[in-house]
Structure formats: C-alpha cells, structure tokens
Structure 1
Amino acid sequence: MSTQATESTVSLYLDYAHRWFHGHSPLYVQWATGLASDHGLLNLVAGLPKPKRQPNLVFASARHLGSGDVEFESARTFMLARWPEIEAVVMSHRTQTNEAGRCATLLPVISMIFTQERRPLALIEVGPSAGLCLLPDLYSYSYDGAAPLGSGSPLLRCTTTGNPPIPTALPDIVWRSGVDLNPLDGTDPETANWLRALVWPGQDTRLAQLSQALDTLAALKAGSLGSAAAAPGLAPGDLNEHIAELVESTPSGTVPVVFHSAVLAYLDAADRARFAAKVSALDCRWVSNENFFMDAARDSRASSDSNYFTLSLDGVPLAHTGQHGDELHWLRGAPTE
C-alpha cells in the first residue's frame, strides 16, 4: 500500500473525528481516531478505492453486518475478522443517509418560494436517496420550542439565530421527483436497515426521525394520507444528464424547485460547475444546502464555517445550517421574504 494512500486515509479519519463526529457521536470519534492509528485497519481501508474510504461508509458497513455499537478494540477485532464481508458491503453500497431532519432548515426557503410565486410547487431533489426530504409538507416542525407547525410525523425541532422567515403554514406541494445514481426504495426492509446503519451511534433522535419518516413514506405510497400528492418518482441516473428533463416534466402551473443537500461534495469541481450552469439556465428555483455553495460566477466555494452547510437560494447564500437540520443561522442582510 502506498504511503500516500495511507497518509491520506489517516488525515481523512482524523478530519471526520474532529470536524464532523465531534459533538455528535463520541463512539465514532473513538472509532475514527482508533483506526487512524491502527496499522492493520489502515492498510485495509487505504486499499479501497478513494471514494469508498469514507468513515461513514466503512463504519456503517461494519454495523450493518452486526458489529454492534462497541468500544473500538471490539470493533477492530470484528472488522479485521470480517473484512472481506465489510469490503463487499462497502463496494456495493453508498453513504445515502436520508436525513429527513434537514427539512427543518429547507422548509423556510421552500415556503419563501411558495409565498413569492403564489403557485403550487413541484419539488425535484438531486441525490434524494429514498426521497424522505421530498416530503417536507408531510412532517411537522417546532422552531425554537414553539408550538408545532403541521401534524405529520416526525416532528422536527430546530433552533435558529438571525431573522429567518419561519413559516406559519406549510407550502402547497403537488409533485415530487428526483434523480440519483442509486435511488432507494425506503419501503424495502433491507434498504431501511441500511439507512438505519448510516445513522451515527448515540443519535437516538435521528434514528427515531428516520423510522417515522420511513413510516410516512410507506403511508404515502399506500395511498393512506388522504389528499396528499403522489409518492416521489425517483429516476436512476446522473444529475447533470437528467435535471433538465425533470424540470421540463413538471406539471403546468407549478413552480419547479430544484434542491439538494450534502450532494455537491461528491462531485468534482468541473461537474459542480456544469450542474450550476445547467440549473441556472432552467426555468426553476434552486435551493442548495451544502458544505459548498455556488456563487454568482458559478465557482465552488467552501462554507465560511466548515462545521456547517451553506443554505442558498438561486446562488445567493442565506444561512448556515446544522448538518442534521437542527440548527438554522440566518445570515445578516439575507432576504426574509
């Protein structure tokens, strides 16, 4: 194994431990720092293709196979003994964490679009996984401890700073679609188990939200949610190849809203720029919630605070958001209507 691959793997796992897992999953901090100093595991992980070395993917694969949420030494023993199976899961799966909680930070912007346009919305998600973030009008929300908005499940809680446009009513969403390299069926038990394995250890609220959102998706597909719009139609394929046709296929009289969350980081700079050019030229509104945002020149820029995503509308940054949707920090001077 090359020294460069090993060193980059060490750097990756320490970065996740200190930047992403810290404050959110103590066990994953322990696993990531432990692996970064373990020669045997480092060689195995460094031998994976670079996109497959991601800590979320490796650790979720071990947990999916039954490692349990154990101390690092026990996890190490499990991973060394079961590496061929873990590697097979890593190679056949993706980190498609379907974080329904992010709807709490997306909803204010989606509702702002609805207020501005005064027409029903047609949502198009890029990288939707199982499509749980395509259901923001079917959940309920509490901002800063206020009485819930909506009566759906799960109830998503979010704290805010600045002056965000907290909605007083849910937007009218009549159509939902998305494109993903590997769209998932959230009603399939094996797929649901994989999505649960992607939730970090100790994050019981996230796990409960996921289970409740999966139940809502199942009820929608079963037609038991009354007048709610049809279930999301998820197409397989590359976002740059399909986004135009999806926008063009939205129902007449609706406002197409293209959105994505924690997706652009998986593209290289050229593909991000290509996507920005495509979506900017389409007759749609564009909501981005990423550790990268695209500015007016369509350049990829890191968020000014690397622990948060940047939420933007039509290329204009509006807020910094918590990666799991529990924080919304509206930027000074950002529009609120």
Structure 2
Amino acid sequence: MTRHIAERYIRFAQLEAAGQSPIYERLALHVARSQNCLGFLSTLPADRQQPNLLFAAVRHVAGNISCPEAFDRVIRDRAEEVATVMRRRTTQTNEPGRCAVLLTLLAQITGPITLIEVGASAGLCLLPDVYGYDWGDHKLPPPPEFEGRAPILQCNTSPGTPRPMAHPDIIWRAGLDLNPLDVSRDADVAWLEQLVWPEHQLRLDRLRSAVSVAQCCPPRLVAGDLTQDLPALIAEAPPNATVVVFHTAVLTYVADQQRRDAFARNMLESDAIWISNEGPRVFPQFAARAGQYREDMFLLMQNGQPLTWTGPHGQQIAWLSATQA
C-alpha cells in the first residue's frame, strides 16, 4: 500500500510541482522516500492521502515549512493534529484563475446563461462575468462596478484561442458541493489560502481579491452530491436561459470510473451545455481525441469534445487544431 502512495507523490512532484513549486516538489519526493510519512498516510482513507491535502494540513498546523527534516518532525510530533485536519477538510482549491480558460467557451454562448458549477467549493469560479482578464494580446476589463476590486486574471494563449470581447450574460447561477465553503467564515477563507502553493503570491493575491468580490455578491451554494443531486438543481434554473454545467479539477476526486462515466452520460443526454476542465485521465474515452496526453495540463472539453489543453491554475491555453480535435 505504501508503494502506491509513494508513486502518487513521485507523480505529483514530477508532473505537477516541477517548475511550479520547488518547495512542494522537494517535499513530495521526500514523502515518497520517508517511511515515517508513508506510514502516517497509510492510516488515512485513500481519498485523504493527496499531496495537496497533506501539505495544506501541515501548513494549517505548523505554518510554512520547506525543510524535509522539519516536515518529518511535524508528522512525528503532531500527527493527530494533521490527521484531524485531513479527515475534516478536502482539497477544495478554489482557483479563480481557471475562469480565464472557461470564459473562452462561455463568451461564445449567445443570450442569457444559467451557470451551474459542480464541486463549487466557495463559488469563486461562479463569477466569471465579474473578473477582468489579460490574455496577453487581448484584455477584457471587469465591469465598471467591480473595477479596482475584481482580480485581473492573466493567461498565456496559443494561436487559435478565441478572444472574448465581452462578458457572458449570466442571469442565474448556483453551485453544488459536498461541503460548500463560506467566504464569510474566516476559517474557510484561511483554508482556501493554505491550499495555495507557498511560492504562488500572485495566486494568493487574486484569491483574496476574488473572495472580496464574492463577499459582496455571494453565489448560491447548495450542499449535495454531483452524481445524485445535480438534476434537481438544474430543474430550478429559469426557462429562458441556456443551462451551462461546468466543473474543473473535481471529477478526478470521484475515484470510481464507472461513476464518472455515468455522470458523463447523464450530461450528454441532458439539454445543458457541459464544460469539463479536468486531467486527461478523468474521461479517457474523450481525451483520446486530443492526441498525446499532456499529463501536466488539464483538458478543456465541451459536451465531450476536447478543445484545448489548459494550465491547472488557468495560466495557459494551448488550443487544439481542427485536425487534433
């Protein structure tokens, strides 16, 4: 069992943290070699062994730690505190930067939109019409009423990427999550901040800006299971708008592939537009159409059709050519 955990941390170090977070790359490789850390993780349920969850929990308990020896001491001396956080919390990284890639699809929808997010966390990605955007050669400022408060989300784009000229017309929005986070609760906001990787000050700054906006206009969040409770939420949507259901870095935490595939079938059979932004292994039946896997990136799809590779934090778009897609 510990070998499987070690391999997971090696993959995280090599495919996610490398080039993005030297601290987490170093710590993940250390965990993969540490019997102390592997033994600790083996006492937790499989869905509570993720690197992001472990590192955020250690930060929650002991502050920022970059030294493997100090990390080992926390796991040895404060194991129960760390385990308590990992059992109570989940990796609900609410990265508003991902709206920069989502908007390339949302802005192409004409008319009013009903926007529903599954795995919404605190709902920060439910406000794409509030933020400003900088795609390098094209910018879209936030609406005037949010100027100076809303974050400006930066994203590098490749040729062929659609350039949104205006914000989408979202008239109704709601989020579904097993355990929604509340931006009015200091403890929930602190947890969101601890999930941001330690070197990523820009991400932390824009998270705080997005939280400030959400505190003024909080989206509706509903507690529920995406594989069971989504139809009821869709049924509440007003009839005069296009229903868009989206998720980003969420279905990867549904471990059972059959449940993922059932969710995909239900979405394709619905009348909603389905936007998925996940790692390519989440829906391999669709990802095969995108060509060779990009293990370090997400795959943005609409109704099961791959359209572009995206940076996990919304920092990059590599649009697929017509022949690839």
Query: SS at the partner of 1:96?
Result: coil
Q: How do 1:224-243 and structure 2 match up within 5 A?
A: 231-243=218-230
Counterpart Cα distance in 2 of 1:133 and 1:181 = 16
**Using the alignment, how far apart are the partners of 2:324 and 2:51 within structure 1?**
37
Q: 2: CA distance between counterparts of 1:94 and 1:334?
A: 39
Partner of 2:134: 142
2:298 to 276, 301, 309: 309
Match 1:276 to one of 256, 264, 269: 264
Q: How far apart, CA to CA, are the structure 2 residues paired with 1:45 and 1:129?
A: 24
Equivalent residue letter for 1:126:
V
1:179 correspondence with 2:168: no
Deviation at 1:208, TM superposition (A): 0.7
Q: CA-to-partner distance for each residue in 1:141-200, whole Å, 9 max, x for gaps?
A: 001154443254110000111311110111111111121111111221000000101011
**Alignment of structure 1 residues 1-337 onto 2, 5 Å:** 5-112=1-108, 114=109, 118-151=110-143, 152=146, 153-220=150-217, 231-267=218-254, 268-292=256-280, 299=285, 301=287, 304-333=293-322
Answer yes or no: is the 8 Å Cα contact 1:139–1:150 preserved in 2: yes
Q: CA deviation at 1:293?
A: 7.2
Judged with a 3 Å threshold, the aligned counterparts in structure 2 of structure 1 residues 291 and 67 are, in CA distance, closer, same or farther, namely same
Deviation per residue, 1:87-137 (Å, 9 max, x gap): 00000110000010000000010111x2xxx32111000100000000000
Structure 1 residue runs without a partner (length 5+):
221-230
Flag as ranges the 4+ runs of structure 1 deviating above 4 A: 300-303
Structure 2 unaligned regions, length at least 5 = none
Question: Quick one: structure 1 residues 335 and 301, their matched pair in 2 at CA, closer, same or farther if it must change by over 3 Å?
Answer: closer
Percent identity for Structure 1 against Structure 2: 37
State the alpha-carbon separation in 1 of the partners of residues 246 and 206 from structure 2. 21
Q: Secondary structure at the match of 2:165?
A: coil
SS of equivalent residue, structure 1 residue 288: strand
- Whole-angstrom CA distance in 1 between matches of 2:69 and 2:38: 14
The residue type equivalent to 1:195 in the other structure is L
Q: Residue 52 and residue 294 in structure 1: after superposition, are their counterparts in 2 closer, same or farther (change >3 A)?
A: closer
In 1, Cα distance between equivalents of 2:317 and 2:141? 16
Calculate the aligned-residue CA RMSD, in Å: 1.9
Q: Secondary structure, in 3 states, of the residue corresponding to 1:239?
A: coil
Determine the C-alpha separation between the residues in 1 that align with 2:304 and 2:114. Answer: 19
Decide which moves more: 62-71 or 181-190. 62-71
What is the TM-score normalised by the length of structure 1? 0.89
Deviations 1:202-246 (A, max 9, x none): 0111111111110010011xxxxxxxxxx3221111112111122
Give the CA deviation at 1:334: 7.6
Offset of residue 74 of structure 1: 1.4
1:260 Cα deviation after fit: 0.4
For residue 225 of structure 1, what is the aligned residue in structure 2? Answer: none
Change (3 A) 1:76 1:331: same
Question: Partners of 2:97 and 2:26 in 1: how far apart?
Answer: 25
| Kept after mapping to 2: 8 A contact 1:293/1:312 | no
Are the counterparts in 1 of residues 140 and 164 from structure 2 also a CA contact under 8 Å? no
Aligned length: 316
Secondary structure (helix, strand or coil) at the match of 1:276 reads: helix
